[in-house]
Structure formats: C-alpha cells, structure tokens
Structure 1
C-alpha cells in the first residue's frame, strides 16, 4: 500500500475519494485542507508540501519554467468561460471592454489563471493588448522570484473589491457572484457575456481550464502505479458524479484524460501565458504529455 498526501478542492467529483466511497486501489490517500484553496498552490511550488496537489494552470506554467520538480496530470478540476469575470461597479457610466486600454484593472495576482484568460479574450475579441492596461494586484505570484511585467502594480488594498470601492481601478477580474459574497453587486463589463463565452468556445473548440492536478516528480518516478491509480479513481469519480454538473461550460470542462479539447485549452493557455509574460519561454506541451502517457480520454 502506497501512502500519498493529497490536496484537492471540495467538489462533487472529489467527495467519493475523500469520503472513501470510491477507494484508490493500492493507495492510501491522506487528504489535506486549505482555505482558501489557492493558498496551497504557493506552498506546493515553494515547499513541495504535498505528493499530489490541485493547481492553477498559470501557476503550473510558471513553476515548470522555474524548474520546480512537479508534473501535470491530465485531470481538469474546474474551468469555464471568463467573459463574466471582468466586472465593474454598478451605477457608474457604461464601460465597454474596448475602453479599458489606458486604464487600470484590478486582479488578485498578475499570474492568476482567470486573469490569464481575461487578458487573452480582451486581446482576441476586443483588440485590447495586455500591455495597454495597468494591472493592479493585491497579492504576489505563487512562484517565488517571478518578475512581473512593468505594467503590473501592487496595491496596499487587502482584496480586489477594495480596489473597486476605493476607485483605484475602472474594472476588476472578479465575477459578479464572487463580488456578491463580499457585500457588493457587480456588473459584467462585457454585454451578453454568456453568448460571448459560447462564441469563444465555438471558435476554439475547447473550454478554458483553470485548475488541474500536479504530482511531485519524485513520487511519479518512485510510485507511478499509485499515481496512475489515483488518476483512474478521479476519472471514475468524475464519471460517477456527472449528474451533479450541468451543461454549462463549467460543468462540461471537468474531465480526466488526455484529449483533443484538453490539448487545445493547454495550447491556448500556454500561448496567452507567453504573450502576457506570465512565462518568458514557450511551454513544451509535448514534453508534458510524454511524462504522463497513461489515462487517455
């Protein structure tokens, strides 16, 4: 029996593993907790705190470039379109996405994956270059030593909603529902954001991926069967809980296994990351897939 320390978010597709109703053959998983979940990402890339850990895609790209010994596993935990993630305060003058050039936009961290997708869609759909916006952040990137672009500023505000309340930014990467949990209503900057998101999916043939799963290289090398068993169990749990997810992009993106749509999402995310200086070198996606040849979709 191999023991693995594992950190995964609480979702319908992780609960069968966490409560033991779906065992992982030959593996004892010791599940950790993190609140908020993303606080574990920095500990993983800086201290390799877990054997297996959920991780934001942009953080993984940066960690890989920095030489952190972790490998991406083909399991998508969360994702979805992000046209609704660009928001502003209600009651003010209308603000079109094209008008964000030359303005300040708040985002939790310059390397936040939602911000990666938002900057990408702004460039593709509305002609706003990431470099034309000043990105005001409240937190540093998870990967130590990462040098942020010159158009990224750190604010003294504690949270992204504080940037909006204080008038420091014209808009923020913060979904309407996320704002509501912090005592404020927000308005999407992009009109008919769901339709715009569906058009993005149709054009690209994939759905943006936010969180996947990584494993320490040492564990992958010493216990590949255990890692494969965990991936297989996650695949089975995703299949068993399909009824708990709807037909929205966020519901459809959850999946396990290398596939054409996953490869497309990784290719687009990697291209966005390079264009935005989230990474400074191209991501070797072929090399990533070769390290984990099991679990084809």
Structure 2
C-alpha cells in the first residue's frame, strides 16, 4: 500500500476499503483487477460457468474461530453439544468464518451442519444479503431474518440462541453478561486445536479477474513475489525491539510465543505450506452444501504460483 514493495511490471492503484465492501463489489460487479476475497466466496465462484477469478496462495487474513461463537446465557448452551437443535444466527451462510466454525464443531465436537437451524441477516444493520446465491440441500435449513431485525439484538433478546460470526457483536457483554462466548477460554482451546491439527484457518485470499490473468499470466507470479516480500518485511518489523510496530504492550512476547508454537513462518503463504488447511476447508465447503463437488486444492490457484523456485 505504501509502495515500499512493488510487484515487477505492475503499477498498482491501491483502494483501501472495508473487506465487506471489497467482496461485494468484486463478486457482484467485478470492479477490480485484483482484490482480497473471502476464501468461501472464491471457492463458490469456481462453480460458475465463467470461473471469473483465479487466486494466488496469499492469505492476508487468518483467524482461529473458536472465539467467534456467541451464545445467549439463557439458552442453556454450556458446551458445544448443547447447540444441537438450537437457533443459530449467521450474517451469511456462505461466509468463510461460519464455514470454519461449522466444520470445527462437526469434526471436534460432533455438532453436524444440519443439527441446528440458521438465521441469516445483518449483524448490526438490517438487510444484509448473501453475496452469492445459495443452492443448499434440503436438510440444511437457512431462514432470512426480518427486514428490521439484527442478529446482535436477536441474540441479546433470546430470539436466537447462538451466533456464528466474524465480528464481535455489540451485544457481547463478557463472561457474565447476557451474551457470552461459548469458549471464553478460547486462547487455550485454539492453541490445543493447532497442536492437534496444525491448522491455522485461512479466511481470505487474493484473486485476479480471469480476463486480466488470461491476458497477462505473468502477473500471478509477480504479485505472489511482491506479497511474499512484504510479508518478510513485516516478520522482521514485528521482531524489532527498539520501537514497537503495533500498539500491543507485549508484542515481542506474542511473536516469540507464536514462533515457539507454530514455527518461524507462523502466518505462511504458499500452496505446499497450506495444502492440509486448504483441503480441510474445501471438505467443509462441500459437506455444508456450498460446493457442488469436493475440489482439490490444486484446482483453485494459478499454476504459476504453486511451486517455489530457487535463484
């Protein structure tokens, strides 16, 4: 963004906007040549006739999502199995964060995708639409909430029992409030999950409009190299001790802890490094009715970016 890293042969015009706006404008109107995109939305776009995008294995957003399950304290939900039979809100059924949440709940706790009824709509503002049309199997139940309702208020008022989301709802009141996390000790649980699975969930990737890629296939590798260089710079900056680069008092301790648990490349880019995580997500997308078949990870990235080269 600040041009300290420039992709070979490309003069980027960078537009910085909320990811929801970026995703909507790219998915609905193809407004950009290159864009950050929800991994789930991108996978769904692979089943359209034109396959409008091609991705590179760069992942600007990753997040352990055990912390993103919120419950109404009066719902009787104390552990994951208590979700079975409940009413669960989700801003969009196809959002990447809820896909990971549903998959983890199924794999780790036995709460299957069709064990709950879903209610979709705006979290803080009414009338949020699905960015892509859904064609779900009949056993998965997704209802639209009313035109004046929001999921955050519905959770607070007990109109839904739980919420799977990416953003913390404004109705969250902490461990003793009406709206609580299912896993208030989420850091401990997420660390254990990583130790057991080696999965650090991927939320977003980078896509190129298909016609731009087909006309100039070299830009996939050029972009990948530039993102990798920018990532290397950030790794170095986060380890600086002269002046902290992020407003976290114990930033260096966080970085050292991440390296001990996850290795030096704790936020890895690249296909081979992330194949297991990607295959897990693609299985979830298929199991949850979003993908028409189970894709292989090799199918979703520009082939120019799937192998490393040595200079």
TM range (shorter): 0.7 to 0.9
CA shift in 2, pair 1:24/1:171, >3 Å: same
Are the aligned partners of 2:151 and 2:163 in contact in 1 as well (CA < 8 Å)? Answer: yes
Provide, for residues 234-285 of structure 1, a one-character-per-residue CA deviation record: whole Å limited to 9, x for no partner.
111111011158445999653332223x111110000011111121211132
Give, in angstroms, the shift of residue 69 of structure 1.
1.8
CA shift in 2, pair 1:27/1:148, >3 Å: same
1:34 and 2:46 are equivalent in the alignment: no
Higher strand proportion: 1
State the SS of the aligned residue for 2:12: strand
Of 130, 141, 146, 2:113 maps to 130
Of 85, 102, 106, 1:119 maps to 102
CA shift in 2, pair 1:72/1:289, >3 Å: closer
Are the aligned partners of 2:88 and 2:116 in contact in 1 as well (CA < 8 Å)? Answer: yes
Equivalent residue, structure 1, for 2:241: none
1:240 and 2:233 are equivalent in the alignment: yes
1:173 and 2:164 are equivalent in the alignment: yes
Question: Aligned residue pairs: how many?
Answer: 274
1:105 and 2:118 are equivalent in the alignment: no
Give, in angstroms, the shift of residue 21 of structure 1.
2.0
1:258 and 2:271 are equivalent in the alignment: yes
Of 151, 167, 173, 1:160 maps to 151
Equivalent residue, structure 1, for 2:65: 82
State the SS of the aligned residue for 1:206: coil
Equivalent residue, structure 2, for 1:5: none
State the SS of the aligned residue for 2:199: coil
Equivalent residue, structure 2, for 1:268: 280
Structure 1: 4+ residue segments shifted above 6 A: 249-252
Q: Distance in 1 between matches of 2:5 and 2:203?
A: 25
Of 125, 142, 150, 2:131 maps to 142
Give, in angstroms, the shift of residue 54 of structure 1.
0.5
Q: Distance in 1 between matches of 2:291 and 2:130?
A: 12
CA shift in 2, pair 1:121/1:277, >3 Å: same
> What is the CA RMSD across the aligned residues, in angstroms?
2.6
1:201 and 2:194 are equivalent in the alignment: yes
1:73 and 2:73 are equivalent in the alignment: no
Q: Distance in 2 between matches of 1:271 and 1:294?
A: 20
Larger radius of gyration: 2
1:291 and 2:303 are equivalent in the alignment: yes
Are the aligned partners of 2:56 and 2:305 in contact in 1 as well (CA < 8 Å)? Answer: no
CA shift in 2, pair 1:109/1:211, >3 Å: same
Of 30, 40, 43, 1:48 maps to 30
Are the aligned partners of 2:118 and 2:141 in contact in 1 as well (CA < 8 Å)? Answer: yes
Instruction: Name which of structure 1's ranges 191-200 and 68-77 shifts more when overlaid on structure 2.
Output: 191-200
Are the aligned partners of 2:71 and 2:180 in contact in 1 as well (CA < 8 Å)? Answer: yes
Q: Distance in 2 between matches of 1:290 and 1:40?
A: 21
Scaled by the length of structure 2, the TM-score of the pair is 0.79
Give, in angstroms, the shift of residue 174 of structure 1.
3.5
CA shift in 2, pair 1:214/1:253, >3 Å: farther
Equivalent residue, structure 2, for 1:57: 39
CA shift in 2, pair 1:168/1:66, >3 Å: farther
Are the aligned partners of 1:258 and 1:296 in contact in 2 as well (CA < 8 Å)? Answer: no
CA shift in 2, pair 1:208/1:190, >3 Å: same
